[in-house]
Amino acid sequence: MEGLNEIISHFKIVLIHGGPGTAGSMVPIANELSKNAGILEPLQTELTIDGQIHKLQLILEKNGESPFTLIGHSWGAWLEYIFTSIYPSEVSRLIMIGSGTFLEEYAGNIMTTRIQRLTVNEKTELTSLLTSLEDSTLKDKDTTFRKAANLIRKADSYSPIDLSVSMIQCRYDIFQSIWKEAEDLRKTGELLKMAENIMCPVTAIHGDYDPHPPAGITEPLSGLIKDFKFILLKKCGHEPWNEKNVREEFYRILAEELSQGI
């Protein structure tokens, strides 16, 4: 993409995948950016947030050159945000794609919105899969989790280019453990309080069809992070790189943001 050839080619750009527990979900972005830059895409396999932060810090210390530009998607946007609040000097820029909301009041209707977008048969299937995941006797929860994640991915998409499975690994134990911690951080206000330690520029890129309400990101963060920019993409779901209407625009925006982070 135009502009990316200006980015120096060593490991200063780090992609943080979402989920939690869906390792490899940012492979399409990694493939695109790696044409012109060195890219790190750590796979998060630890079962606690502290564990994932520590593992990320070790990977960056061993393989990269600080300060880093971090690009996180969905849960990954939260993880990079938490990481930056702990290691502010290690990060020169944060790019948050399809972030979760930072206030509990905006999160209540997300799953309802997703279910409403599915067909009758898909609604029944997703409800059944989510119920199965709560069954302690179910042995293969990873397969069930993957099926549920694929239906949710469809509901999150406006006009997707490809809905085939893009995850390298799908682990429900990681999702269950990490997401409980993450929700607690949001409920108690600790997640939002971390913004006080973030000194670098932060750009949030969000689709207007993303079920995560944009106001749940802009309202809290714009008042706490000095250099905060929000970009809303029209006719775009949770994965801008996989949307027919905005893919080119998304990579153009990403190139501009990365060029400023050198």
122-152 tens-digit pLDDT: 999 999 999 999 999 998 999 999 999 999 9
Q: Per-residue pLDDT for 190 more than 50?
A: yes
Q: What does the DSSP 8-state code read for residue 160?
A: B
* Angle between the N-to-C axes of helices 172-188 and 75-86, in degrees from 0 to 180, rounded to the nearest 10: 60
Element (H, E) at 153: helix 141-156
Give tens-digit pLDDT for 87-111. Answer: 999 999 999 999 999 999 999 999 9
Q: What is the average per-residue pLDDT within 198-220?
A: 97
Dig out the tokens for 254 from the structure: 């990403």
**What percentage of the chain exceeds 70 in pLDDT?**
94
Q: Is the pLDDT of residue 252 over 70?
A: yes
8-12, long-range: CB within 8 Å, 24+ apart, which pairs? 8/37, 8/262, 9/36, 9/37, 9/38, 10/38, 10/65, 11/38, 11/39, 11/40, 11/63, 11/64, 11/65, 12/38, 12/64, 12/65, 12/66, 12/67, 12/68, 12/69, 12/262
Domain holding 114: CATH number? 3.40.50.1820
- Per-residue pLDDT for 209 more than 80? yes
Respond yes or no on whether the N-terminal peptide bond of residue 20 is cis (omega within 30° of 0): yes
CA distance 255 to 236: 18
Mean pLDDT over residues 185-210, rounded?
97
pLDDT given for residue 24 in this prediction: 81
> Which residue range is the domain that position 82 belongs to?
4-260
Which pair of tokens denotes residue 61? Answer: 């210390």
First to last CA, the chain: 17
Nearest CA among 134, 155, 166, 145 for reference residue 27:
166
pTM for the model: 0.91
At residue 168, the pLDDT reads 67
Domain count across the chain: 1
pLDDT band at 166 (very low <50, low <70, confident <90, very high): low
pLDDT at site 189: 96
Q: Could you write out the DSSP letters of every residue in 33-53?
A: HTTTS-EE------SSHHHHH
3-49 per-position pLDDT tens digit = 444 333 458 899 999 989 888 888 899 989 988 878 888 888 999 99
Q: In the predicted model, what is the mean pLDDT of residues 68-74?
A: 96
| pLDDT band, very low/low/confident/very high, at 65 (cuts 50, 70, 90) | confident
> Which element (helix H / strand E) includes 250?
helix 247-260
Nearest-angstrom CA–CA distance, 235 and 231: 13
Peptide bond into 240 cis (omega under 30): no
- 64 versus 202: the higher-pLDDT residue is 202
The Cα 19–Cα 207 span in angstroms is 18
Residue 132 has what pLDDT? 96
Query: Which pLDDT belongs to residue 64?
Result: 78
Question: What is the average per-residue pLDDT within 205-210?
Answer: 98
Tell me the two tokens of residue 172.
């429900």
Q: How confident is the model at residue 163 (pLDDT cuts 50, 70, 90)?
A: confident
Question: Which residue is it, tokens 């400023």?
Answer: 260
Q: Please tell me what DSSP assigns to residue 27.
A: H
Nearest Cα to Cα of residue 112 among 128, 126, 129, 98: 126
